[in-house]
Structure 1
Amino acid sequence: MITTVRRCGAAAYRGGMSDTPFGFGPPDPDDSSRKGGQGDNPGGPGSGGQENPFEAFSQLGQMLSQLGQMLSQAGESSGPVNYDIAKQIAVQKLGGAGFTGDPDPGGAIADAVHLAEMWLDPVTTLPVGATTTKAWTPRDWVDSTLPTWRRLCDPVAKRVSGAWVEALPAEAKEAAGPLLSMVGQMGGMAFGSQLGNALGQLAGEVLTSTDIGLPLGPENTAALVPANVEEFTKGLERPASEVTVFLAAREAAHQRLFAHVPWLRQRLLATVEEFAHGIKVDTDALQQLTQGIDPTNPESLEQAMQSGMLEPQTTPEQKAALTRLETMLALVEGWVDVVVGDAVTDRLPGADALRETLRRRRASGGPAEQTFATLVGLELRPRKMRAAAALWRLVGDQQGIEARDGLWAHPDLMPTAEDLDDPLEFAERLGATPQLSDDPLAQLQETEERERAAREKDAQEKDAPKDGGSASDEGPDEKSS
């Protein structure tokens, strides 16, 4: 199902943190003196139940000291997300056991990918896409995918953290002064904490570099995480080598798409950025919110952020971007499911069971989907993925693998969300155009050339002299002739 990042604003400041605001410690439940009740009085005799002012100053100093230490430990990051903190938290969450040393001493991953590539060759026209094969530890996965997560998360975090500041009146911005910069830095830390916790969980369970359908790792690199594959295999009652080859085939199929469909990688990542740029905050709600904040009471700010009034408003443009992204991810996953099924079903006895296991993993909201939904605002619908697989299967059976794979030649040839709801109609429409079944890209180019020729003809007719024009209107060339 499609979700939005409506709660990203508040969640980013709270994600991975306690309910206590930054720099403040939890209240002491045994301290009854602040309410003027009976019991021990830290102010000492003669204070009349009042708080000792020196203790208040001491607590303020400790608070500021904690805040300074927190900011100094934040690193040099000045963007909307502090990736230094994200990486630190992710690595800490992973721990050290089993995450160091050579993850594949016997070279089983490289052998599995090589075998999978040979099986894929006859069932797709897309050639091998991975020029490098890697066996990653979970920490390697964090290091290798963080640059792509930066591109995915920066636009969302920047808009969420900056939208409410942009909506402030000029007088409020001037009055806040340097405080806005500090809040921005703390916001980057909070986003980094949320991202680090999510990546730490995901790195401990992800199986390949393309588990969520996005090209997270380096280009032309097929990568598996053997430690996680081993854990995944324990409850399957299938040989480890069989599971490894099956996952290697899925990884290799993804890499063929991302390597030989040049527009795909950019389109997927750009759609996330497009969604983020449309984030807006209700300015009326913001003004109402600021009236209820007591600047001397930090808890009032925390309560305000938890109230939901700072949540971004979803726009029609954002919904359209999410639909396009969901459709494209479903098409990627559906194509991989079909191609891998054709490649391994007759060779691996447990292939059908493994395909269904991964489908159910998606349907139950696995770690990849949950992380992607938290950070970006999208969940990949299993229904759409199955519909996409049915469409690719139908097109391949009716038109052949050349026509099926040829649709990736240009984004305008790709099935739409409506086509996923009616795969049969799409396949029939495709079959009604013989040229498309032979060469989809050639048909597209032919259409563009016809349109270009028509535009040129219209322009020439517009510039041509009208009937009845004199010879003098024809120009010097006509006179000389």
Structure 2
Amino acid sequence: MSNPPFGFGPSDPDKRGDGDPSNPSEQPSGAEAFNQLGQMLSQLGQMLSQAGTSSGPVNYDLAKQIALQNLSGRDDAKIGFSASESSGDSSTAVRDAAHLAELWLDAATILPAGATSTVSWSARTWVEKTLPTWQRLCDPVAQQVSGAWVEALPEEAKQAAGPLLSMMGQMGGMAFGSQLGNALAQLAQEVLTSTEVGLPLGPSATSALLPANIEKFTEGLELPSSEVLVYLAAREAAHQRLFTHVSWLRQRLLATVEEFARGITVDTSALESLAGQIDPANPASIEQAMSSGLLEPQTTPEQQAALKRLETLLALVEGWVDVVVAEAIGDRLPGAEALRETLRRRRATGGPAEQTFATLVGLELRPRRMRAASSLWKLVGDRHGLEKRDDLWSHPDLMPSADDLDEPLDFADRLADPQSLPDDLDPIAELERTEREEREARDSDQENPPPNPGNNEDKGDSEPS
């Protein structure tokens, strides 16, 4: 976890204020400190009044406001494609590309089309449409971080602080919201589709591509923009087939991220060292102490387990999409293989999606697992056919594990042996079978009651003389 979430770690020294608490000659005088404090309170009041009424650990009203302000100079709603001028604006080009991609995917997977609509998004639209999912992902992190401060205070300090704690919580929500807004604005200018991070960020059953970002991504590739658009449309459509028809997948992915976030712990003993760094006469020392990294979250064994499950599942999603799209496109697009490798490297080098995800949620994915998953899905498909390959998504217990990614040949061999797989993994049937077994056990207990230790007949016939 190299990128600690939500404001942990050292900040930019150039943004720390004018005074240096380690140098008394640079500390402001009492009058200057009073004026600075007055300005800070005035600015705080303005911020609170302008930040909206959002409650909770993150001020999402402020996050949205900041993100949209950062994107206000972009007018990318109707950017066309050089090879698609005859088809009208970008929305038409996106729909045509998605239609072609869906036709090709039909022959490469048994999962039917998952998107009921294909849309063209601007960067601003991406922020608005994905913010509800980001809220679900970020709330557990912010709750753990902000809660650590309150829990670390002695009871008498909590009582003395009173309304100040509420204000601190509001300020924390604003700080988190500001960081989230800036991060989303940056990501919105670079992300290519709604599923590029491997998570279903947008509305269900909606394929979305960002033409302006795709056009920028295409620069320097020496490939026709129409080919790039169709290839990315195929990746988006393949993701949507999984997220729509694999009923457990969306919930499992988001729940695992939440589980990881809830496990964040903070070494609250560091608060003592933190308090020693603060000079009440120098407001800059407060910011320096807060950004010192003393409260960097600790990774627990439970988090490591959740992280491994999440990395494996995301790798399986990305690997399956990689293989299915490659098989669907085949040699229809001359530059498909080069584009496939470009996108793999984009993920492997920690592109904007991974970096933003790591900063916001505290997770850093290991792209090497995605290549291993791709090799596994290709092997299973070649040996057992695409129907058996895709049937593995019918239940999470059938999915390859992290160990299987290391030994794909063993996994493929086990699939050839029906005895190695559970007979029935239908959750409803499993529930009915469990209820039936419990009912039979109760009936058996009623017919054959256990002996009563208080009954004298169960003892000897008479006391020994």
**TM-score, scaled relative to structure 1:** 0.83
Aligned equivalent of 1:93: 70
**Number of aligned pairs?**
442
The 8 Å contact of residues 278 and 286 in structure 2, kept in 1 or not, is answered as yes
Cα distance, 1:380 vs structure 2: 2.3
Q: Distance in 2 between matches of 1:153 and 1:19?
A: 25
Question: Which residue does the alignment assign to 2:268?
Answer: 283
Specify the alignment match of 1:465 in structure 2.
448
Q: Please say if residues 403 and 436 of structure 1, whose CA atoms lie closer than 8 Å, have aligned partners that are also in contact.
A: no
Aligned counterparts, 1:107-126, within 5 A: 107-126=92-111
Q: After the TM superposition, which of the residue ranges 79-88 and 214-223 deviates more from structure 2?
A: 79-88
Which of 54, 59, 69 matches 1:82? Answer: 59
AA aligned to 2:8 is A
**In the alignment, is the contact (CA less than 8 A) between 1:164 and 1:310 conserved in 2?**
no
Equivalent position amino acid for 2:204 in 1 = E
1:303 is displaced (CA, Å) by 3.0
Structure 2 partner of 1:151:
136
How far 1:184 moved relative to its partner?
1.5
Q: 1:220 aligns with which of 198, 205, 218?
A: 205
Q: In the alignment, is the contact (CA less than 8 A) between 2:77 and 2:121 conserved in 1?
A: no
Deviation at 1:296, TM superposition (A): 4.2
C-alpha separation in 1, matches of 2:150 and 2:3: 18
Distance in structure 2 (CA, Å) of the matches to 1:279 and 1:221 = 32
Q: Which runs of structure 2 are paired with 1:444-463 in the superposition (5 Å)?
A: 459-463=442-446
Taking structure 1 as reference, are residues 349 and 293 closer, same or farther at Cα in structure 2, changes over 3 Å only? same
SS of equivalent residue, structure 1 residue 77? coil
Alignment check: 8 A CA contact 1:406 1:440 kept = no
Q: Please say if residues 126 and 188 of structure 2, whose CA atoms lie closer than 8 Å, have aligned partners that are also in contact.
A: yes
For the residues of structure 2 that align with 1:395 and 1:100, how far apart are their CA atoms?
A: 41
- Where do 1:182-201 residues align within 5 Å? 182-201=167-186
Q: Summarize the Cα distance change of 1:58–1:448 in structure 2 as closer, same or farther, 3 Å threshold.
A: closer
- Relative distance call for 1:156 and 1:5 in structure 2 (3 A) is farther
C-alpha spacing 1:376/1:467, structure 2 compared with 1 (3 Å): closer
* Counterpart-to-counterpart distance in 1, 2:267 and 2:61: 32
Q: Which amino acid aligns with 2:346?
A: R
Could you say which residue in structure 1 is the equivalent of 2:8? Answer: 10
C-alpha distance after superposition, 1:167-212 (max 9, x if no partner): 2211121222222222222211111121111111111111110001
Paired residue secondary structure (1:211): coil
Q: Secondary structure at the match of 1:66?
A: helix
Secondary structure of the structure 2 residue equivalent to 1:123:
coil
| Per-residue deviation, 1:121 | 0.6
1:326 aligns with 2:326: no
Percent of residue pairs identical: 66
Contact 2:311 2:365 in 1 (8 A): yes
Question: What amino acid is aligned across from residue 193 of structure 1 in structure 2?
Answer: S
Is the 1:5–1:376 contact (alpha carbons within 8 Å) kept by the matching residues of 2? no
Residues 110-167 of structure 1: per-residue CA shift (max 9 Å, x gap): 0110110010011111111000110011111111111111111111111112222122
Partner Cα separation in structure 2 for residue 195 and residue 279 of structure 1: 18
The answer as to whether partners of 2:57 and 2:146 remain within 8 angstroms in 1 is yes
Alignment of 1:285-304 (within 5 A): 285-304=270-289
Partner of 1:105: 89
Which residue of 221, 225, 249 corresponds with 1:264? 249
Q: How has the CA–CA distance of structure 1 residues 303 and 52 changed in structure 2, closer, same or farther, with 3 Å as cutoff? A: closer
**Structure 1 residue 457: deviation in Å?**
5.3
Deviation at 1:465, TM superposition (A): 2.5
Instruction: In structure 1, list runs of 5 or more residues that go unmatched.
Output: 38-49, 470-481
Q: CA deviation at 1:453?
A: 6.0
Call closer, same or farther: CA 1:138–1:216 in 2, change over 3 Å: same
2:226 maps to which residue? 241
Aligned partner of 1:342 in structure 2 is 327
